[in-house]
Structure 1
Amino acid sequence: MIKSTALKQEVQTSEGQLTILKGIDLEIKPGESVAIVGASGSGKSTLLGLLAGLDTPSSGQIYLQGEEITRLDEEQRAQIRGRLVAFVFQNFQLLGSLTALENVMLPLEVRGVEDPATKAREVFARVGLTGREHHYPKQLSGGEQQRVAIARAFASEAPIMFADEPTGNLDTVTGGKIADLLFELNEEAGTTLVLVTHDIRLASRCHRQIVIEAGAIVEPGQ
């Protein structure tokens, strides 16, 4: 379960204090897929980063699997992320010095998984990239890089998946294939999926859509 209570995010600017999130109350059930949608600047990516433990809020509480991560320091949050969270980024976030397969292996090695290469190859094949294991990110197309990123995320077997505009940097056809892959793997794994997107077609594939305007939830979805 993912839960936030009275979640606020405020930052200081040259023009004074800017409120990005205005007291977000949210609950996402295990196994649920949820799309967070809204205009640019509405606060949806900020909310996603907070829920994933990548940043800390100005006030409020966040719970992942019943554990309040907002009371933890960065090292403790990193441990929680390593155990519970996988993340797919819009710009892939692959390490250019590692091959595609090594990028998938990395989180497995960090977690101390036995024989990470075999596990990584299984997931690599599942995303349709057999034969591209030893290519570096710069040698792959955008769609292939996102497939590597998705393989890396699912290889970790984390119960919660966050995705920030996972098809945002891809053309329509490639983005559609990536969306199919994301939802197919998510259904097989039974993970909780929370994604931010501008793509209404992508959002409509989720169990519900949460609409944010000016830092507040205006439609919580059903």
Structure 2
Amino acid sequence: MLSATRISKTVMTQSGPLTILDNVNLSLAAGKSLAIVGASGSGKSTLLGILAGLDTPSEGDVIMDGQSITALTEDERATIRLQSVSFVFQSFQLLPGLSALENVLLPLELKGVANARDKAEHYLTQVGLADRLHHFPPQLSGGEQQRVAVARAFANEPRILFADEPTGNLDAQTGERIIDLLFDMNQRSGTTLVLVTHEQRLAARCHQQLVIEAGKVAQAVDETGSLQPC
């Protein structure tokens, strides 16, 4: 479903080239879950962006569903994201001028999904926001905005869901609910899940873990708990 081979990312700074990722390899089967774990600045969010086709590596290749996405144009990668991929970001990424319902509804309408409104309402209800459908993001708490973002991701019924610190702005109780929803989707719908997290309890629920330190894979753990070669 998803693999990365010899992924490196180098950017130019005033002090010269800076290597953010260095020779990262991974493989994730369809329907499985992967946690990318690491300290702030380790390169884990950059890796997530490259795997999702939001960024391109300086070297290496990403294969999604048997297709090299690094060889595609930005428009071609955007088409794949629209059709097969959803995101949950720590910063919500909601449109402030649209209601909660409209934020979930918009990508479904762009995709041409039948019964889009019913589906949007269903997933907002699933995350506990049935009574907040017509509220706008500025009228919602941070936790409520994150739940709208999660509902939007779920409603798209993606083949693969990328989540960057999905519980980072949530209280403990709401965070647990979101975690349960993420893994329910992974198990019930066969959605492949890739998430960046600093929470070990969340990482431990994934089939695989990839620990990134200073841009390199420091440790890789498979679903049996066995260490894999880096």
Shorter-chain-normalised TM-score: which range? over 0.9
- Partner SS for 1:87: strand
| Structure 1 unaligned regions, length at least 5 | none
Larger deviation, residues 129-138 vs 170-179: 170-179
Quote the Cα distance in structure 2 between the aligned partners of 1:208 and 1:75.
Answer: 31
Match of 1:171 in 2: 171
Q: Does 1:32 align with 2:32?
A: yes
Match of 1:146 in 2: 146
- Residue 155 of structure 1: how far off its partner (Å): 0.7
Larger deviation, residues 166-175 vs 39-48: 166-175
Quote the Cα distance in structure 1 between the aligned partners of 2:52 and 2:164.
Answer: 11
Q: Does 1:48 align with 2:48?
A: yes
TM-align CA RMSD: 1.1
Match of 1:158 in 2: 158
8 Å Cα contact 1:20/1:214 also seen in 2: yes
| Structure 2 unaligned regions, length at least 5 | 223-230
Match of 2:61 in 1: 61
- Residue 209 of structure 1: how far off its partner (Å): 1.2
8 Å Cα contact 1:33/1:192 also seen in 2: yes
- Residue 152 of structure 1: how far off its partner (Å): 0.4
Quote the Cα distance in structure 2 between the aligned partners of 1:172 and 1:118.
Answer: 29
Quote the Cα distance in structure 2 between the aligned partners of 1:206 and 1:115.
Answer: 32
- Residue 7 of structure 1: how far off its partner (Å): 0.8
- Residue 79 of structure 1: how far off its partner (Å): 0.4
Runs of 4+ in 1 over 3 A off after TM superposition: none
TM-score (norm 2): 0.93
Q: Does 1:180 align with 2:183?
A: no
Quote the Cα distance in structure 1 between the aligned partners of 2:188 and 2:141.
Answer: 26
8 Å Cα contact 2:127/2:178 also seen in 1: no
8 Å Cα contact 2:146/2:169 also seen in 1: no
Match of 2:14 in 1: 14
AA of the residue aligned to 1:49: G
| Aligned-pair identity (%) | 59
Match of 2:95 in 1: 95
TM-score (norm 1): 0.96
- Residue 158 of structure 1: how far off its partner (Å): 0.9
